Amino acid sequence: MQRVFRHPSSAAEELEVIEPSKLAIQNVSKSFRGASGGVLALDQVSLNVAEGEFVCLVGASGCGKSTLLNIIAGLEKPDSGTVQADGKPITGPGRERLVMFQEPALFPWLNVFGNVLFGLKLKPNLTKKDRHDVAKYYLELVGLSRFERANIHELSGGMKQRVSLARALAPNPRVLLMDEPFAALDALTREQLYGDLQRIWKARNKTIVFVTHNVREAACLGDRVIVFSPRPGRIREEFAVDLPRPRDINSVDLAVHSTEITKALKSYGQPEGAIAQ
């Protein structure tokens, strides 16, 4: 059993007892029906994720990575197999598991502060002052304190994703699920966010499952990189990345890891151009 701080704010400076969080996915399969018939997206996928672990799922587009993330989030149900969080079956969305998507999906009628504050409605026991304190803390954590009153349309793409990250973190979920959140950003902005995300992950000790088709991104961020085959998605291999943090996406050591992962992806028949290096 672990004792951790919920938030470094007046709202939650008390210690809260939290059982070790773990995701347990066993023999999960999922198919979809389309105009041309059924499509098997996931086939007998099994994966365990430990408390505080950063796991990256990598593979070509269409290999079922996002489908698995949606099943963990409770947005989709598997056709067969079991999915558990903290030893309990996942039967639907829950505030202990929050998703950050590729698009920021911010509310344009709310400013930066209002968007982060909105996510705190998931914490019904906080007072108004508590919510404000927590929102300010997370805006500071993502480097946007000076922009809390800015309108969403005034922000760059990278800043919008920072707001989205702060909004996802503010309710203090046990698990953060990230579906290619940096894919639409330019290289320099992504590089900065890689460093920010590693810093925040270490500071808040979150369990993160991160979906990407960018091999170097996966090696930069993950404790483990899980390699998926093309459709139907199956877990073919996993790589432990034991490099010290924070990791530089341009480092030679990281390139060695990403090269090995890329070789594995190609050996399982990934289509040319379907994976980024």
* pLDDT, tens only, 175-208: 999 999 998 888 888 898 999 999 989 888 899 9
Residue 143's region, left for phi above 0, alpha for psi from -120 to 50, else beta, is left
Express as a percent the part of the chain with pLDDT over 90: 60
Report which DSSP code applies to 77. -
The edge-to-edge listing of strands for the beta sheet with 23-34 is: 37-49, 23-34, 80-85, 88-89
In this prediction, residue 145 carries a pLDDT of 93
In this prediction, residue 67 carries a pLDDT of 94
Quote the CA–CA distance of 144 and 165 in Å, as a whole number. Answer: 11
pTM over 0.75: yes
CB 47 within 8 A of CB 226: yes
Domains of the chain: 2-106+174-267 (3.40.50.300)
**Which of 223-234 are b and which e, b meaning 16 or more Cβ less than 10 Å from the residue's Cβ?**
bbbbbbbbbbbb
Angle at 166 between CA 50 and CA 64, to 5 degrees: 50
Closest CA to 258 of 223, 193, 214: 214
In this prediction, residue 13 carries a pLDDT of 37
- Give pLDDT < 50 ranges for the chain: 1-19, 272-273
